[in-house]
Amino acid sequence: MTAPDPQRSNIAEITLPSGRHPDITMPCRHGRLALIHLSCSLVRAIVLYRDRFDSQGPIARFLTRNAFGVYVLNAPILVAITRSLHFLPASMGPKFALASLGGILASFLIVGFVARRIPGLRAVL
């Protein structure tokens, strides 16, 4: 085996199963091109989303305004919902789905329409 040629470092040689080396060489530059293409595509996507999707609708604005309040008050609301579902004669799967969806909905509604109207909590939330 000879030492690799520094000028041919980006070319891979093909070896047949019989151990012979054919006179065919294959450049390995396609990996670099794919990486450059992927990087350019990601930059294009970031620019597109920055320019086109920079506003919020009313639902997203409501969720954004109340996100910290939901973070703070989610645990007691979820405990109350799961305790109320304890007496429901169903398996764990439907109870989990009800508690998850009900917890998210109840948390945002309670924080958005009740907790933000209380003067002491309004300053914190």
CA distances from residue 124 to 56, 71, 86, 97 in whole angstroms, order as listed:
23, 12, 32, 30
Say what the pLDDT of residue 33 is.
Answer: 78
CA distances from residue 17 to 13, 26, 121 in whole angstroms, order as listed:
13, 17, 75
pLDDT along the chain (125 residues), means of 10: 55 58 53 82 90 87 92 93 92 93 94 86 76
Q: State the Cα–Cα distance between residues 77 and 49, nearest whole angstrom.
A: 35
Position of tokens 């948390």? 107
As a residue count, the chain comes to: 125
For residue 122, the number of C-alpha atoms closer than 13 Å in the C-beta half-sphere is 6
Say what the pLDDT of residue 12 is.
Answer: 55
Handedness of CA 45, 47, 48, 52 (dihedral sign): positive
Q: State the Cα–Cα distance between residues 8 and 25, nearest whole angstrom.
A: 10
Q: Where are the domains of the chain?
A: 7-52, 58-124
Closest to 115 measured CA to CA, from 107, 89, 82, 75: 107
User: In three state form, how does the secondary structure of 11-33 look?
Assistant: EEECCCCCCCCCCCEEECCHHHH
